[in-house]
Amino acid sequence: MSFSRRQPPLRPPDPGRRGEGDSLVRRVQTVVMAADPVLRAGIVNLLDHRSEIELLAEDGPGRDPLILMCADDAGELLAGGPQPAPKPAYTVLVVSRMNKAQLLEVVELGVTAVVWRREATADRLVRAVQLVDKGAGDLPADLLGGLLGEVGRARRARGTATEALPMGLSSREVDVIRLVSEGMETKEIAAKLCYSERTIKGVLHDVMTRLELRNRAHVVAHAAREGYLRWT
């Protein structure tokens, strides 16, 4: 399976639904992709009646939806070699198995959030989709630690762990990225560093634009690989 795989279309989108209290709920346009039709049907069934999600067919004209990709093993995404990231690179991955090296690869392909299949309740999936739709990431704590550890081990294996830090990131940018790597959200980072939330979002946006990185997880991976994040 790759990011370009096509699946049978879902039902056509219907008008915005009303949630609790009969107030209009913002619905995130989402396409579900999976090589396994049973797995795909299960995810669709979980989300089909959620007021926060609007499920679309993959080939809907003029749309640029968030992608929710489902796989039993992350190797299914990587078996065909490097694939172009979705455009825009807003992707939630639901997966049963993934090792640390694969995590680094899928982040670089454009995955912004990861949900373990065993934890993929409707509420958990909606939360991941909403976070990604807002420009945030959502990696489980065990995976985030694994991502950083994998990059650190790769650097040490190359004998570069003690090299001087390269130029390119300011001290403020490094401070923000370090807190992102610890799992903090924008509001928490702003409070910790005594900046506004707007400033923190601007810092991350500038880094992603300047270095052509796709999302927060990709920023953390890049900073770790280049030696900006220290290891214990």
Please name the helix (run of DSSP H) or strand (run of DSSP E) that holds residue 92, with its range, or none: strand 91-97
Query: How far apart (Å, rounded) are the C-alpha atoms in residues 223 and 174?
Result: 8
List all residues 6 or more positions away from 56 whose beta carbon is below 8 Å from its beta carbon. 10, 13, 29, 30, 31, 63, 65
Residues 8-52: tens digit of each pLDDT: 344 444 444 444 444 456 789 999 998 889 999 999 999 999 999
Contact 133, 90 (CB under 8 A): yes
pLDDT at 85: 45
Query: Using one digit for the tens of pLDDT, what is the confidence trace for 179-225?
Result: 888 778 888 899 999 888 889 988 998 888 888 887 787 888 788 77
Going along the chain from its start, the domains and CATH numbers come out as 20-138 (3.40.50.2300), 163-225 (1.10.10.10)
For residue 143, the SS3 value is helix
Q: Distances in Å between the alpha carbon of 175 and those of 3, 95, 130, 163, 229? A: 33, 31, 26, 19, 9
pLDDT tens string 105-148 = 787 777 888 899 999 999 999 999 988 887 777 777 667 666 65
